[in-house]
Amino acid sequence: MDARGYAFDNASDQATAHHDALADLLDEPTRAALTGLGELTGRRCLEVAAGAGSIALWLAGRAAEVVATDIAPQHIPARPRLVVRREDIVTDQPPGTFDLVHARLVLGHLPRREEALRRMVAALRPGGALLIGEFAHPPVDFVADAPDTATADLLIRYLAAHVATLTARGLDPGWAQRAPAVFADAGLTEVRSGTTAGRWRGGGPGCRLLRAGIPQLRAALLTHGLTDVDLTATTAALDDPRVVVNGFPFVQVSGRAPDHPGPA
């Protein structure tokens, strides 16, 4: 991925906290969406940008074979029926063909996201399914509850800096809403979209995810109007159970390759 790609480094000392928060926050709706795409027994699956591998491991307990790829796959443990590969979906065509391809919080960060998506589509067997998951635009009314006005104002300023930082790195918050049309343009059928949304309490998975990002994004956050004092206070606020924010909507989009592809 190029310098304007994914902002969170698997080599960071925050990587474990980041991956754990993502799993706690998103694995349940992800597993539900994957289950809804059909029987996994006997299937060959691809997990793109697998991170710490929580979904790849879950798939490996059900499918015939799972290939988990990442540009830095060191956090993915070895398991039976799980093959781990160091690959970049921006430049590398996935190995072979698959009954199921899944990618979570990847394409929205990539300037060449549609090219990467078409690589995934090309890796589908006839009738195979593609599922992606992305955060959509953050809610306008981000802070639902806070112990005082100063904390609420700080969290609003933090969110603005967070979004500006990721957007400068190539994130497109509108990608989740556009993805269904891109799926259809890529030749997929049965295109569906569903959204999971809810409130995140301080100390819970969503706020832990934001907190884990602060050290990784610190230098850029400071250029967007925050100070080190602000970041220390934001970290504390995200741990405070009195804080409740309206979480980022999580949009999952699925589509299926035709059973009988047309002529190339």
- Domains of the chain in start order, with CATH, are 15-256 (3.40.50.150)
Could you give phi then psi for residue 127, rounded to 5 degrees? 85, -5
CA 239 → CA 34, 212, 244, distances in Å? 31, 11, 10
Average pLDDT for the chain:
94
Contact 171, 109 (CB under 8 A): yes
Q: What is the pLDDT of residue 2?
A: 43
Q: What is the largest CA-CA distance in the chain?
A: 63
**197-222: per-residue pLDDT in tens?**
999 999 999 999 999 999 999 999 99
The answer, yes or no, to whether residue 8 has pLDDT greater than 80, is: no
Structure tokens at 226: 């925050």
Q: Mean pLDDT over residues 30-55, rounded?
A: 97
Could you give phi then psi for residue 245, rounded to 5 degrees? -120, 155
pLDDT level of residue 15 (50, 70, 90 thresholds): confident
Q: Mean pLDDT over residues 174-187, rounded?
A: 97
- CA 124 – CA 120 distance, rounded (Å): 7
Edge-to-edge order in the sheet of strand 143-145:
143-145, 244-246, 199-201
Q: What is the pLDDT of residue 80?
A: 94
The answer, yes or no, to whether residue 89 has pLDDT greater than 80, is: yes
Q: What is the pLDDT of residue 264?
A: 45
Percent of the chain with pLDDT over 90: 91
Q: Mean pLDDT over residues 44-69, rounded?
A: 97
The answer, yes or no, to whether residue 9 has pLDDT greater than 90, is: no
Cβ-based neighbours of 181, under 8 Å, separated by 6 or more: none
**228-264: per-residue pLDDT in tens?**
999 999 999 999 999 999 999 999 999 999 997 655 4
Cβ-based neighbours of 217, under 8 Å, separated by 6 or more: 7, 162, 165, 166
Q: What is the pLDDT of residue 60?
A: 97
pLDDT level of residue 10 (50, 70, 90 thresholds): confident
pTM over 0.75: yes
Q: Mean pLDDT over residues 155-163, rounded?
A: 98
- CA 162 – CA 154 distance, rounded (Å): 12
Q: What is the pLDDT of residue 160?
A: 97
